Amino acid sequence: MRNLTLSLLAVVLIATIGLGWMFDGIYNQYLNQYNEQEQHLRTEQQDAISVLEQVGTHLAVTLSVLDNRQEFIDKWPKKGSLLLRLQPLTNFPLPQALLDNLTAGQPLLLETDDSISLHFYLATTDELLVLTTPPQKANQSNSLLPIFLTSLFYLAVLALMLVWLYPLAKRLMTLRQTAKSFGEGDLNQRINVGTISYIRDLELEFNRMAQRIDDLVTDIKLLSSAVSHDLRTPLARIRFGIDTIAEEDDPVLRKKFERRISDNVDEMVDLVESLLSYARLDQTLITLNKAPVDFKKLINTCINNKSQDDIELTLQVPQQQVMVDGDLSYLMVLMSNLLQNAYQYCHSQIHVSVAEQGSNIIVTVSDDGQGIVIEQREQILKPFIRGKNSEQKVKGYGMGLAIVKRIVEWHHGNISIDNSASLKGAQFSVTLPKV
């Protein structure tokens, strides 16, 4: 799930930092322009107020010497940006400090959201001349820009999340459909793992699980077929022997039939033990005690245990030490089974070689037997499958190579089958990781 975690982290960082930084830059640019407009507006407003103060001062001086002040005010235009009116000072309560400044001749500026008013004191009549003008407002066309940018930010985050979620949802739907088909009995169902997938690890694990189940089902079919086939014959012979003994009075013949029954029982015991051995190897909870293993020493031990006087065995190994990372006991089983298979099917020669290749070693066991045809090479590694025309010539149940294959898989190696170029028989090559 590493790809899913990394992609989610990337989307979150892009959404929160990348988009936030981009929209923050746009808003700051707008804010700078807005501040410049505000500054320019204040400057213009201050200039306008200075002009109004001069106009108001001249009007106050003029009205102070007129007897018909109200008539002048009444004739002033009622429609326009500059309105005039007179107001008694007594009807205009002010703090004493402002009142003192006003009576001293200093204009009083009062500003509201709707207007700007300049008050001038007329000392001769104890009145106030009030000039009222609308305030200059900033351009409101961009007042909704912050809301627009915020909405755009969330929409961009949502779009980015949808773009990220779509392939994830698609892969999950594919996984669901494949798992459903697999659960309905189609054991060949697998997921085509793409190069770019958030759940690549999960898909690979599903494929491994599906392959494992498929292998188990195949093994069960093979085991049931082998049991029904291989047990039927000795059971029939045992029944026949018992029936014969019951009717036979000759002690010599009874002894002979008893020995045959005993041999058939031993054959059945061997078969059951082979089944149990393979079943134990199939346990998923098995623990490998991996450690550095001297493979040259291991091969020599196995060869000494399996040697036969009438078979010529040649060994080719590197001069330097060859160390493998694995479980010693299971590697012994692996090598013993390969040698046992070669001894059973060869005519007179076996060749064993060990070669290093990068971080691996390649162990090759060849013989001069009949070899294995291409069509049988994959099947021969399954339990209870034996080489063609070998059932009558070689005793066994076809478990050795199946066990080899399982041990190789446990050690993260691989096994391949070919025909030997020199001996013309079968050649088994096993690749294992070095220390």
Q: Which residue type occupies 376?
A: Q
Give the CATH number of domain 291-433: 3.30.565.10
Beta bridge partners of 292: 325
Extract the tokens encoding 76. Answer: 């002033």
Beta strands in 285-396 (DSSP E): 291-294, 312-316, 323-326, 349-357, 360-367
Identify the pLDDT of residue 28. Answer: 72
Identify the pLDDT of residue 136. Answer: 61
What are the pLDDT tens digits along the chain (435 aa)? 555 556 666 666 666 676 667 767 776 776 676 667 667 667 776 777 788 788 888 888 888 878 788 888 888 887 777 888 888 888 888 888 888 888 888 888 888 877 888 888 888 888 888 888 887 655 544 556 677 767 777 777 777 777 777 777 788 888 888 888 888 888 888 888 876 666 777 888 888 888 878 877 876 776 676 666 667 777 887 888 888 888 877 888 888 888 888 888 887 787 777 677 666 666 554 667 889 999 999 999 999 888 888 899 999 999 899 999 999 988 998 999 999 899 988 999 999 999 999 999 999 999 999 999 898 888 888 877 776 655 445 566 677 888 898 889 889 899 999 999 999 999 999 999 998
Do 2-140 and 291-433 share a fold?
Answer: no
Q: Which residue type occupies 77?
A: P
Stated as kind and residue range, the H or E segment containing 142 is none
Q: DSSP state, 387? A: -
Residue 282: exposed, middle, or buried by beta-carbon count in 10 A (0-12, 13-18, 19+)? Answer: middle
β pairing state of 349-357 and 312-316: parallel
Coil vs helix vs strand at 7:
helix
**In the chain, domain spans:** 2-140, 171-286, 291-433
Give the CATH number of domain 2-140: 3.30.450
Identify the pLDDT of residue 4. Answer: 57
Contact 411, 432 (CB under 8 A): yes
